[in-house]
Amino acid sequence: MHVPYLMCLSKKISGFLLLPLWLLFSCHKDAKELSPQEIEVKVEAIVKQKEEKLRKESLDDLNHRLSIELKPKIDSILKRTAQPNTELPELDTLNF
């Protein structure tokens, strides 16, 4: 009964000891420096991807808003043109 417990404990301890060593060596890799042209290519790719995403989201938003807002506005305009305003405008007596 004690042997499995000790084996499990030893695995946990060795995991905790190996984790910092693994992090130390994984962060030690030399990073390759990019040329200005490579940086520009990467930036352009990222910007293009973000622009496409924003365009798609804006078109989706436009279509959604048109479906919600356009019909009431058209109905309001048609109602106003169907019933012309027959009231006389107020006359300002100072501007004769």
Alpha helices, DSSP H, located in 1-96: 2-26, 36-82
Distance of CA 20 to the CA centre of its chain: 35
> Between vectors from CA 80 to CA 77 and to CA 83, what angle results, nearest 5°?
145
**How many structural domains comprise the chain?**
1
Q: Note whether residue 10 is domain-resident.
A: yes
**pLDDT higher at 67 or 61:** 61
Per residue in 6-43, pLDDT tens?
A: 566 666 676 666 677 677 666 655 667 888 899 999 99
Residue-range definition of the domain harbouring residue 15: 2-25+35-82
Q: Note whether residue 95 is domain-resident.
A: no
